[in-house]
Amino acid sequence: MAGVELENVCRRFGAHAAIENINLTVDEGEFVALVGPSGCGKSTLLRMIAGLDWPDEGHIRIAGREATGVPAAERNVAMVFQNYALYPHLSVRQNIATPLTMRRLKAWERLPLLWHASGASRRRHAQIDTDVHEVAQALGLGHVLDLKPGALSGGQRQRVALGRAIVRRPAAFLYDEPLSNLDAELRTTMRTEIADLHRRIGVASVYVTHDQVEAMTMADRIAVMRAGRILQFASPAQLYAQPSCIEVARTIGTPCIGLLPARVLAGSGGLAVGMHSVLPLHIALAAGADVTVGLRSEHLHLTTTDTAGALPARVTNVEYLGADVLVHVAVAAGHGEARLVVRAASLDCAGRTPVTGELLGVRVDLSRALVFDAQGQRIDAVAGHTMSTQRVAHG
């Protein structure tokens, strides 16, 4: 049984189609991220699963049950927002307990003092207290239960929001950019905490983010979205190695994939890059076709300008990452220049780090390079082994 299922879901705002015929299945216990630029429809999709917005067409099922038309309060989904949405006047204990008090207690039982009068009410209060404690311990909040949200750090507030979501044991978790208000260090910590929590509770989760690194590190599968559609839905490794199109290849992976415009030469089957270089290509392509070769930083190697078969390149920027260095280069391609990023050991290129403005050679490892057709769809991975380019003289 799927945790969350979307079938042919459409949502229009006036003439604008915000979501166009989306089909998506989140398996039970699976963590799925929705990634894409601002306005592509991530939040609209999440809000429809939550019951805060309604599809114009299609069906939404949660834990196997039809949810289309079911009000948010009856869907048994928990939503975690970027602004935490905590009650500032309530303690951490009361914040976490809120979904349980609303669901398990009658109105009079929520009033101070009155609930003491009934044994059944006392038992319900005690059970809520036990459940809140259990969740607070699991999230490392045991020592702040009596504090108000204002006295907590950003990370603790986000944990309280998570606690409030977990305590009701929902059928699905929905996260709307929950980490975007936190600083870089805390984001990394919370990323691990949420992923760890997810593994422990194993509830179907949908996580909206702009940040592909967040999606790559946390999700079992990622739906890459553009303009109300899902371009590709696959595991992080599949998206990285076998993107369906250039837009997916550009979305996934850090640094961004380098793209070389090229033309398939007649006869040799090689790819002409710029005016003077040819990449040997072992793939059936029509002569004269314009393609784009996608090269990730680990497909490229720095060498000297006089190395036979290397693409001539000019260093435009150097980023030190410690053990590695990212060398940004410009190479001649098409009628202009293309930008590539080479990941190198800090001491590369004859034992020293390149500097901006320097002229170098770049050797291309085509064994895992990606080739896209003129419409941007991936044709196939280029077969073969590490190959270098050969210079050709164009008349």
- Residues in contact with ligand ATP by CB under 6 A are 13, 18, 36, 38-44, 210
Can you say whether the dihedral through the CA atoms of 216, 217, 221, 223 is positive or negative? negative
Which DSSP category does 131 fall into?
A: H
φ/ψ of 304, rounded to 5, equals: -90, 160
Whether the CB-CB separation of 291 and 264 falls below 8 Å is answered with: yes
Q: From the CB of 214, what's the least distance to ligand ATP, in Å? A: 13
Q: From the CB of 26, what's the least distance to ligand ATP, in Å? A: 17
Whether the CB-CB separation of 68 and 55 falls below 8 Å is answered with: yes
Q: Which is nearer to ligand ATP, 19 or 246 (CB)?
A: 19
Q: From the CB of 18, what's the least distance to ligand ATP, in Å? A: 3
Q: Which is nearer to ligand ATP, 209 or 292 (CB)?
A: 209
Q: Which is nearer to ligand ATP, 48 or 387 (CB)?
A: 48
Q: Which is nearer to ligand ATP, 36 or 163 (CB)?
A: 36
Dist. CA 224–CA 216, nearest whole Å: 11
> Within 13 A of 315's CA, how many CA atoms are on the CB side?
24
Q: From the CB of 49, what's the least distance to ligand ATP, in Å? A: 12
Q: Could you tell me the two tokens for 276?
A: 């003077």
Beta strands in 14-76 (DSSP E): 16-27, 31-35, 57-62, 65-66
Q: From the CB of 11, what's the least distance to ligand ATP, in Å? A: 8
Q: From the CB of 38, what's the least distance to ligand ATP, in Å? A: 3
Residue 377 pairs in a beta bridge with 245
Dist. CA 298–CA 319, nearest whole Å: 15
| Residue the block writes with tokens 């020592």 | 143
Q: Which is nearer to ligand ATP, 148 or 226 (CB)?
A: 226
